């Protein structure tokens, strides 16, 4: 039963003590989050993975790319464990290393040798990948002068990239890329969309010649469900409502909202509100429901009336958490995520550039 599982997890954690640290993303279900030593957004959890050198194992309750990142940033002999190996991310899967390399080759034909800075010292294209991508993609970015971003530092990272290159190739999430670049003043007609299934990404060469940000054709299946109609309805039914959405939402939704920001931004905005406020939130339901329970002085609801959890985050069932902890107690290391050396070295370069980037 649920109660027995909870007991099993508590007992295993008590036996393991400081030998194990459990990290949980904001989108994890409540029955998992209660056992996490740290709960946060993907940027915070990357930091948490770095700051626990004493732990033998990091149990990552989140999705595969986050566990890979934790492996890249933790000590080499620390084991990073993903309780269910089927917890992937459909957005991360939208940029395969083969497709990105193929795109890079075509951009090289168009813009010239991509490894050579021009007379002003600027590279033709700087690749920027959202954290929500495989380690192989992060390795590609690291090898080619690029950098990683999360939804909480996308603007800072784009500024870093614009200081080094004429253009940015941004992947996998077109919405985070478009929303961030638009807020920085990049015109929409200078942000062509790259569809990996079409020649030249589905663009003509003139469009690409004038590009400032080339947006990869990826999206989050949870956040793309939010609509302007939902925002209009929330405003009609709740006068004075504050609408906050995640920047993985489509541009028209971000434009219609009062604010947009990462999961940690959303949490902080609600925590900082001094007057009782109604919040309509456009992000994953587990975070919205947790905030509603934590801040009963406010009315907090999800913009989407049809409950929409991230189906892959949801694959971390407490049963899997109990299983991996029991295995650790027994001296085994199941479901270990280990990025191979040849990928890990350049991927770490791209992550370290992110951690060092300043506006
Ligand atoms: P953040 O944790 O950066 O807000 O990203 C949300 C998300 O979609 C994670 O998969
Ligand atoms: Fe991927 Fe979206 Fe789920 Fe985040 S919420 S893990 S981006 S599918």
In SS3 terms, 92-113 reads as HHHCCHHHHHHHHHHHHHHHCC
Angle between helical axes of 174-183 and 154-162 (0-180°, round to 10): 70
Mutation pick for ligand 1 pocket among 88, 93, 132 (CB with most ligand atoms within 8 Å): 132
Mutation test of ligand 2: which of 131, 221, 315, 316 has the most ligand atoms closer than 8 Å to its C-beta?
Answer: 221
Angle of the 135-143 helix axis to the 97-111 helix axis, nearest 10: 20
CA 354 to chain centre: 13
Q: What Rg do the C-alpha atoms of the chain give, in angstroms?
A: 21
* Residue 222 beta carbon below 6 angstroms from any ligand 2 atom: yes
Q: Taking each helix axis from N to C terminus, what angle separates 341-356 and 64-73, rounded to the nearest 10 degrees?
A: 80
Q: State whether the beta carbon of 285 lies less than 6 angstroms from ligand 2.
A: no
Say which CATH topology domain 223-302 has.
Rossmann fold (3.40.50)
Q: For residue 267, what is the DSSP state? A: H
- Mean pLDDT for each consecutive 10-residue tract of the chain (359 residues)? 95 98 97 97 93 96 98 96 98 98 96 95 98 98 98 96 97 98 98 95 92 98 97 98 98 98 96 97 96 97 88 97 98 98 98 88
Ligand 1 atom at minimum distance from 313 CA: 10
State which CATH number among 2.60.120.200, 3.40.50.300, 3.40.50.10800, 3.30.1330.50 fits the domain covering 2-87+312-338. Answer: 3.40.50.10800
pLDDT score recorded for residue 358: 75
Residues flanking ligand 1, CB < 6 Å: 41-43, 132, 150-152, 220, 248, 262-263
Instruction: Confirm or reject: Cβ of 106 under 6 Å from ligand 2.
Output: no
Give me the residues paired with residue 58 across strands.
Answer: 21, 80
DSSP three-state, residue 170: strand
In CATH terms, is domain 92-220 a member of 1.25.10? no
Judge if the beta carbon of residue 132 lies within 6 A of ligand 2: yes
Strand ranges of the sheet holding 79-81, from the earlier edge strand across to the other edge: 38-40, 20-25, 57-61, 79-81
Cα 132 to ligand 2 centre (Å)? 8
State yes or no: cis peptide before 172, omega within 30 of 0. yes
CA dihedral sign, ordered 27, 32, 35, 36: negative
Structural domain boundaries of the chain?
Answer: 2-87+312-338, 92-220, 223-302
Residue positions forming the annotated binding site for iminosuccinate: 25, 42, 130-132, 151, 246-248, 263
The CA angle 120-122-124, to the nearest 5 degrees, is 130
Listing from the earlier edge strand, what are the strands of the sheet with 193-194?
Answer: 147-149, 126-130, 168-171, 213-216, 193-194
Q: Are 170 and 141 in contact (CB under 8 A)?
A: no
Q: If residue 263 lies in a helix (H) or strand (E), which one and from where to where?
A: helix 263-272
Determine the pLDDT at residue 213: 98
Q: How far is CA 145 from CA 110, 166, 275, in A?
A: 18, 13, 46
Q: State the SS3 of 316-336.
A: CCHHHHHHHHHHHHCCCCCCE
Q: In ligand 1, which atom is closest to the CA atom of 62?
A: 10
Domains 2-87+312-338 and 92-220 share a fold: yes
Instruction: Tell me the HSE value of 82 on the side-chain side, using a 13 A CA sphere.
Output: 23
Predicted pLDDT of residue 140: 98
99 lines ligand 2 (CB under 6 A): no
Which ligand is in closest contact with the Cα of 285? 2
Q: How many CB atoms lie within 10 A of CB 338?
A: 13
- What residues form DSSP beta bridges with 258? none
- Protein residue with least CA distance to atom 9, ligand 1: 42
Note the pLDDT of residue 359.
Answer: 60
Which residue of 151, 177, 261 sits with most ligand 1 atoms within 8 Å of its CB, as the best mutation to test the pocket?
151
pLDDT for res 206: 86
């Amino acid at each position: 039963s649920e109660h027995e599982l909870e007991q099993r997890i508590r007992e295993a954690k008590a036996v393991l003590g400081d030998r194990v640290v459990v990290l949980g993303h904001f989108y994890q279900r409540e029955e998992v989050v209660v056992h996490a030593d740290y709960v946060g957004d993907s940027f915070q959890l990357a930091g948490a993975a770095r700051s626990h050198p004493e732990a033998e194992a990091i149990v990552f309750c989140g999705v595969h790319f986050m566990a890979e990142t934790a492996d890249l940033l933790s000590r080499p002999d620390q084991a990073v464990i993903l309780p269910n190996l089927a917890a992937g991310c459909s957005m991360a899967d939208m940029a395969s290393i083969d497709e990105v390399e193929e795109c890079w080759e075509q951009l090289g034909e168009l813009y010239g040798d991509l490894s050579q800075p021009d007379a002003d010292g600027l590279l033709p294209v700087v690749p920027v990948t959202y954290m929500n991508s495989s380690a192989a993609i992060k390795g590609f970015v690291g090898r080619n002068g690029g950098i990683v971003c999360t939804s909480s530092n996308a603007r800072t990272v784009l500024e870093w990239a614009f200081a080094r290159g004429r253009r940015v190739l941004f992947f996998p999430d077109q919405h985070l890329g478009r929303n961030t670049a638009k807020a920085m003043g990049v015109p929409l007609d200078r942000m062509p969309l790259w569809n990996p299934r079409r020649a030249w990404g589905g663009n003509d060469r003139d469009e690409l010649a004038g590009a400032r940000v080339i947006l990869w054709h990826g999206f989050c299946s949870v956040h793309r469900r939010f609509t302007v109609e939902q925002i209009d309805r929330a405003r009609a039914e709740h006068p004075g409502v504050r609408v906050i959405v995640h920047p993985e939402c489509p541009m028209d939704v971000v434009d219609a909202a009062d604010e947009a920001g990462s999961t940690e931004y959303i949490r902080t905005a609600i925590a900082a509100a001094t007057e009782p406020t109604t919040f309509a939130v456009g992000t994953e339901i587990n975070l919205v429901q947790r905030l509603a329970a934590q801040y009963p002085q406010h009315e907090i609801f999800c913009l989407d009336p049809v409950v929409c959890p991230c189906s892959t985050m949801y694959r971390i069932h407490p049963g899997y958490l109990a299983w991996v902890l029991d295995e650790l107690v027994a001296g085994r290391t199941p479901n270990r995520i280990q990025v191979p050396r040849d990928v890990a070295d350049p991927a770490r370069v791209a992550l370290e550039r992110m951690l060092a980037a300043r506006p």
